[in-house]
């Protein structure tokens, strides 16, 4: 069953990528067409946002990102702007990891970044610190994210109805049935500890003569790791703080992850985050070839 | 790989650098040879050759700076996806360089250079495996500085191989599945003889790890955390055992303490015997190839 869910998850990811590639292709072809009309048409045809919500009033004053004025017009235009920023990128990561390598944590700033990530179209955001403090205060962070979602995106949160996954085992259904953005809070336990647990399981199977040691392969270990915690590989990690280390963040999953370092997560701006997304969009991975 | 920094390494600079804290183990991802070749309008093979020359120079700098251990990512398992011509060219280059190393036996002994090659060497042509094995066996007792060459390597393969080795230990009756721990997995990696790298340098400007030393670069549990985790695991094992023995009646504190001590000593002995057997298996692999 786990294999089936894994296959369906990979198929959904592939469909998201095909859709993004199609949007890029159309953008290039329609570049000569002027005006917002074609942008709106593309967005209405290809994006999951209701066309009526995609409003770009000419000359409208766009309120700045950090404002929590909660004003309907400001929130609507901010959401539109962030969404079109996401569309403008050649590629967008499916999973962004926000790794905080600082001792003092700011829940509001992390919550802002989570909301911005989802507003530009990222479907999976993970938050990590190497002491596991965010995970211990998971509910506090969740409340802050919901609060910032209202502040920044307005009262109508039907578009960004996110799933805030709790600690422990993820039910596979979350990834098959739900198309809502997902926020996951991670700690070092999700790293090496998870690999060790999977290793122990495999060794138990060998002890019981269900498998031979020669049967153990990379894909077998990969499937086992994703059975209990189906975390997609992060394409981009934004690391905050002066320490140049991954600090134990998902060692198995980060083999091809792009790393962008920012000095601090405190008072981080939308432009800082978008700059990281632009860096990711511009990078070219050869995958060994 | 080529830079105008040939002249920028001076003894004065080295002296200044070594006045402060120095890494004991530096890892390099050698990237960008083909882009360099394109930029300089060279053949790809020349790009790789120049990349190797620059690596050799870098190793000399590390020696000058008294950095005792260097790990280089020379060839990834993913690189087998390249064209046959390029893969054969890279394997030929490796063959040449390892054969050249064998001619430098006196020099390597004089400087105490130990060469280790980490990876799934079974994926390589037999003659290359043999020349690699000769270089490894020839230098295995040297202990002044260490060069680890990752060849036919990815971190996921390395971690999986470590799990496979532990499973082999279970199959042989040397260890139990409950003995599997973070510390034991680390001991089963190809790089088990090396400390974790302090610094990772990737040439060419890319900012990803590309499946290199993922376990080793991750945060290591502090000794106290390791000891606590191991203690919890041992307690869980003996609790199950005692419950089974006592037919569901709880054992008294003294009996639990004695059982825990006895279990811990037995587990540590098992693990040491297994690690000895694993070392012997690995040494035999290389000596059989020579």
Q: What is the pLDDT of residues A178-234, one digit of tens each?
A: 567 899 999 998 999 999 999 999 999 999 999 999 999 999 999 999 987 889 999
Q: What residue of B is the nearest CA neighbor of A235?
A: B208
Q: What residue of A is the nearest CA neighbor of B35?
A: A286
Which CATH code of 1.10.1740.10, 3.40.47.10, 3.40.1180.10, 1.10.287.990 fits the domain covering A75-165+172-187+234-282? 3.40.1180.10
Q: Is residue B8 part of a domain?
A: no
pLDDT of A279 over the 80 cut: yes
pLDDT of residue A10: 64
Residue A132 DSSP SS3: coil
User: Do B179 and B200 belong to one domain?
Assistant: no
Return the residue in B173, B181, B214 with the most chain A beta carbons within 10 A, the one to mutate for interface testing: B214
Delimit the domains of chain A by residue range. 75-165+172-187+234-282
Distance CA B46, CA B41 (A): 10
Whether B163 sits inside 8 A of A254 (CB atoms) is: no
Return the residue in B90, B183, B208 with the most chain A beta carbons within 10 A, the one to mutate for interface testing: B208
Please tell me the pTM assigned to this model: 0.81
Contact B155, B79 (CB under 8 A): no
pLDDT of residue B13: 65
Closest alpha carbon to B167 in A217, A128, A122: A217
Q: Is residue B9 part of a domain?
A: no
User: Order of strands, edge to edge, in the sheet holding B113-118?
Assistant: B113-118, B145-153, B69-76, B25-29, B199-202
Place of tokens 């997304």: A277
Q: Is residue B4 part of a domain?
A: no
Task: For chain B, list residues whose CB is within 8 angstroms of any CB belonging to chain A.
Answer: 76-82, 154-157, 159-160, 162-168, 170-171, 176-178, 180-182, 185, 206-211, 214-215, 217-219, 221
Which tokens in the block code for residue A166?
């709790």
Whole domain around residue B268: which residue ranges? 173-188+221-289
Look at A97 and A20; give whichever has higher pLDDT: A97
Q: Is residue B168 part of a domain?
A: no
Facing A216 at nearest CB: one of B81, B167, B218: B167
Facing B208 at nearest CB: one of A130, A218, A259: A259
- Structural domains of chain B, count: 2
Distance CA B131, CA B102 (A): 8
Which stretch of A73-77, B144-148, B152-156, B209-213 has the lowest confidence by average pLDDT? A73-77
Find the helix or strand (DSSP H, E) in which A12 lies: helix A2-29
């Amino acid at each position: 069953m786990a294999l089936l869910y894994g296959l369906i998850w990979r198929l959904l990811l592939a469909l998201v990528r095909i859709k993004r590639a199609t949007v890029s292709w159309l953008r290039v072809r329609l570049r000569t067409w002027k005006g917002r009309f074609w942008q709106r048409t593309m967005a209405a045809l290809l994006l999951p946002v209701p066309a009526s919500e995609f409003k770009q009033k000419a000359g409208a004053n766009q309120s700045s990102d950090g404002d929590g004025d909660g004003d309907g017009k400001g929130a609507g235009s901010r959401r539109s702007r962030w969404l079109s920023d996401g569309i403008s990128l050649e590629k967008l990561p499916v999973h962004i990891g926000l790794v905080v390598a600082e001792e003092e944590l700011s829940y509001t700033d992390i919550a802002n970044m989570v909301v911005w990530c989802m507003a530009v179209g990222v479907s999976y955001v993970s938050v990590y610190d190497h002491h596991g403090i965010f995970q211990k205060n998971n509910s506090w962070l969740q409340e802050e994210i919901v609060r910032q979602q209202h502040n920044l995106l307005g009262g109508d949160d039907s578009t960004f109805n996110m799933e805030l996954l709790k600690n422990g085992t993820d039910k596979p259904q979350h990834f098959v049935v739900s198309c809502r953005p997902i926020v996951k809070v991670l700690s070092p336990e999700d790293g090496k500890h998870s690999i060790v647990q999977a290793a122990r399981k495999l060794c138990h199977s060998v002890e019981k003569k269900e498998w031979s040691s020669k049967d153990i392969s990379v894909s077998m270990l990969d499937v086992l790791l994703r059975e209990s915690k189906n975390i997609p590989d992060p394409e981009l990690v934004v690391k905050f703080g002066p320490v140049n280390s991954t600090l134990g963040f998902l060692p198995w999953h980060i083999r091809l992850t792009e790393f962008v370092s920012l000095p601090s997560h405190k008072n981080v701006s939308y432009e800082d985050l978008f700059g990281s997304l632009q860096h990711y969009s511009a990078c070219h991975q050869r995958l060994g070839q | 790989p080529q830079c105008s920094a040939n002249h920028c390494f001076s003894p004065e600079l080295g002296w200044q650098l070594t006045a402060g804290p120095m890494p004991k183990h530096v890892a390099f991802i050698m990237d960008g040879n083909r882009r360099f070749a394109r930029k300089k309008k060279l053949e790809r093979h020349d790009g790789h050759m120049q990349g190797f020359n620059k690596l050799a120079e870098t190793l000399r700098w590390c020696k000058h700076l008294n950095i005792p251990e260097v790990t280089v990512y020379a060839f990834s398992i993913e690189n087998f996806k390249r064209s046959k011509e390029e893969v054969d060219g890279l394997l030929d280059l490796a063959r040449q360089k390892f054969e050249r190393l064998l001619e430098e036996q006196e020099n390597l002994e004089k400087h105490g250079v130990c060469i280790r090659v980490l990876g799934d060497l079974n994926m390589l042509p037999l003659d290359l495996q043999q020349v690699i094995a000769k270089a490894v066996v020839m230098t295995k007792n040297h202990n002044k500085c260490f060069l680890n060459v990752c060849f036919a390597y990815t971190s996921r393969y390395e971690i999986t191989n470590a799990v496979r080795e532990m499973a082999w230990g279970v199959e042989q009756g040397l260890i139990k599945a409950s003995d599997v721990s973070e510390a034991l997995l680390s001991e089963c990696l190809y790089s088990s003889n090396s400390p974790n790298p302090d610094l990772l340098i990737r040439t060419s400007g890319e900012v990803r790890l590309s499946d290199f030393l993922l376990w080793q670069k991750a945060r290591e549990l502090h000794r106290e955390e390791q000891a606590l985790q191991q203690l919890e695991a041992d307690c869980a094992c003996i609790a199950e055992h005692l419950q089974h023995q006592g037919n569901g009646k709880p054992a008294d504190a003294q009996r639990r303490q004695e059982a825990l001590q006895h279990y811990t000593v037995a587990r540590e002995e098992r693990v040491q015997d297994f690690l000895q057997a694993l070392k012997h298996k690995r040494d035999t692999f290389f000596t059989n190839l020579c």
